Amino acid sequence: MSYGHIFMDTTGQYLFIRELGTGVSCRAQLVHHLPTGEYRVRKVLHRRVPISEDLPRNIGYTVDADIQAIIQFNNETAIVDLLQKSGERDQLKIAALYSHSTHVDEKKKKYSRVSYWSLSNGGDLDSFLADYQHHIPRPFILQFLSQMLTTLQHMYTACHDRLGPMVHNDFHTGNILLHYPSDARSPIPDFHLIDFGLATPLSPASIADDNDFLLPEPGNPPVWDIPRLLRVVDKLLVTWPEEYRAFLHSGGDPIGTAYRLLLDLDRRFQYILQEHRRYVYETKDFSQRLTLPDLRPVIEYVNNCRATLDPDGVETRDHPLCSQAYMRISDAKIAAPQTYSELETITNTRDLPGPWHIGYLDPGRNYQVLDLLAVGNKDTFHRPNEDNENSDTDSAWGDE
């Protein structure tokens, strides 16, 4: 018999597998969703302070790091939830949001803010580039352009009625995940955009006071995403010899053509943005709404390139990318949960943000959860639990 940590959610029970990483505001954990058998990502906000007043609608209005993190947490879940409900989800290459919730320990006045997301099994693009030592083939770059441009186009148009164009506002290699579908035969991954905490409407007409969307400063729209996307393309092209990169940018290659088309769109938008700011400065009229250039002509061009239509063609076949040793989440070493043989040891777990429960696991049946442990006549044991004085897990957040 073994013991493991169980998280409870409206979508069912989750078995804790291992830590994935810790960022400035959140900790990411790999979990196994027991009702479906899927592996997912649990994000836990470090900041656990209660909110006794209305949050500002722009992180620039507060220097409090706790409040900024909570604003971004609320904004991300609200934005992704809205995008997922806007239709054409099959064209939206983002991490899927399954649920989010806030658990409250009234006795200690501590809040645990949690969200559950789909898992991308190839890591982030930044780590991939750091480990990969070969030139990246055209189909890889064109797939990136096709999927990310299509996702951005969806953001720029899907929320027009309510919010107007929505920019991601934090586009970089660390926020792009690679995913290899279980039935994929191609070494070219899908690309998923993540971390919408800073996503902002370009110039919303009006938003109700009771929602969680981040707002831009009046007359100062957020930077749109295409310049940052082009910087990512530059990083991908660094893997090519310098003389060939010059050829790509000269227009003799489909990647170079797409690059120049995007540069042209950016120049046109920068002119529109300059005129918009001049108008707002002179008139103090903040009601004028901005529109973003249409990305569809560039998307159509990229999608019709031969290397896009035939990703497993001559250039990719026998390429070192095919032998890249990426780990799949189905591998036994990755999928095995963290378990404990003694109840006292798991009961005293300190560095695991809760609330979590203790489950009886059967290693002989793929760690099936047989039951949850109850303590005496109290509610099911979990940490933190205000009914159990020994259930303090504040050290998991670095609290004293």
Q: Is the pLDDT of residue 389 over 70?
A: no
Annotate 83-117 with DSSP letters as a single string: HHTSS-GGG--BPPEEEEEEEEETTTTEEEEEEEE
- Is the pLDDT score of 379 beyond 50? no
Residue 303: pLDDT above 70? yes
pLDDT value of position 181: 77
Q: Is the predicted pLDDT of residue 172 greater than 90, yes or no?
A: yes
Mean model confidence pLDDT for the chain: 79
Out of 123-127, 232-236, 263-267, 324-328, pick the least confident.
324-328
Report whether pLDDT(47) > 70.
Answer: no
Give the confidence band of 60 by pLDDT, cuts at 50, 70, 90.
Answer: low
Which residue carries 């645990």 as its tokens? 112
Strand partners, 371: 360
pLDDT number for residue 57? 55
Check: CB of residue 171 under 8 Å from CB of residue 225.
yes
Helix (H) or strand (E) holding 156: helix 138-157
Among 396, 370, 380, which Cα is nearest to 34's? 370
Q: Are 122 and 186 in contact (CB under 8 A)?
A: no
120-156 b/e (C-beta count within 10 Å ≥ 16 → b):
bbbbbbeebeeeeeebbbbbbbbbbbbbbbbbbbbbb
pTM assigned to the model: 0.85
Q: For 114-171, how does the pLDDT look when each residue is reduced to its tens digit (9 = 90+)?
A: 999 999 988 899 988 988 878 888 889 999 999 999 999 998 887 656 677 889 999 9
On whether the CB atoms of residues 314 and 306 are closer than 8 A, the answer is no
List pLDDT tens digits, range 336-368.
888 889 887 887 777 787 778 888 888 877 777
Q: What is the pLDDT of residue 150?
A: 95
Distance (Å) of CA 251 to CA 145, 226, 242, 246, 258: 16, 19, 15, 9, 9
How sure is the predictor about 329, in pLDDT bands with cuts at 50, 70 and 90?
A: very low
pLDDT (average), residues 325-341: 64
| 91-95, 185-189, 248-252, 354-358: range with lowest mean pLDDT | 248-252
pLDDT computed for residue 377 by the predictor = 39
Mean pLDDT (whole number) for 56-75: 71
Long-range (24+ apart) CB contacts under 8 A made by 170-174 are 170/195, 170/196, 170/197, 170/198, 170/199, 171/225, 171/228, 171/229, 171/232, 172/126, 172/228, 172/231, 172/232, 173/124, 173/125, 173/126, 173/129, 173/232, 173/235, 174/124, 174/125, 174/126
234 alpha-carbon distance from chain centroid: 22
Q: Tens digit of pLDDT for each residue in 189-229?
A: 899 999 998 888 876 555 554 456 777 766 677 788 999 99
At CB < 8 A and 24+ separation, what contacts does 145-148 make?
Answer: 145/233, 145/255, 145/258, 145/298, 145/302, 146/299, 146/302, 146/303, 146/308, 147/93, 147/190, 147/191, 148/93, 148/176, 148/191, 148/193, 148/229
Is pLDDT above 60 for 306? yes
Helices (H), 210-337: 226-237, 242-250, 254-283, 296-303, 306-309, 332-335
